[in-house]
Amino acid sequence: MSISYSNYYEKVYFTALFLAITLQFIACSSERDDTVPVAEPMLIIKFDPNQARINNLGEPSMVAVGNGAQSPIFNTISSHYVEISQSATTALDAGTILYHAPETTIGDTKAIDFKQSKIVT
């Protein structure tokens, strides 16, 4: 019995080539994940018990004589709305909204949905 080496090597070559091509199709997924991860800003809230009291414009404020004021101690906090504005006079909702917590209209008016709030300790 005579073996033709050229025929034998051709069969081995084409079998190996067929397996390599088949493995390429099996190993590759038809679903490609071309999504680019989106950078998420991190908001860090620090409380200073000695911080100066400020008014709604961010200016130093004093408590008027005869009025009372609170200086609470925060154990936990949650934020509802975070917006970056271009200047101090930029109207609300005219800046870039970074975070807006879920709201509910169960009581007929829009309100914060505290059940879905992210509470930070």
Is the pLDDT at 31 greater than 60? The verdict is yes
pTM score = 0.48
Cα radius of gyration (the chain): 33
Mean pLDDT of 107-121: 85
Q: Which helix (H) or strand (E) holds 83?
A: strand 81-84
Whole-number Å distance between alpha carbons of 1 and 99: 81
The one-letter amino acid code at 109 reads T
From 112, 118, 120, select the one nearest 75 (Cα to Cα).
120
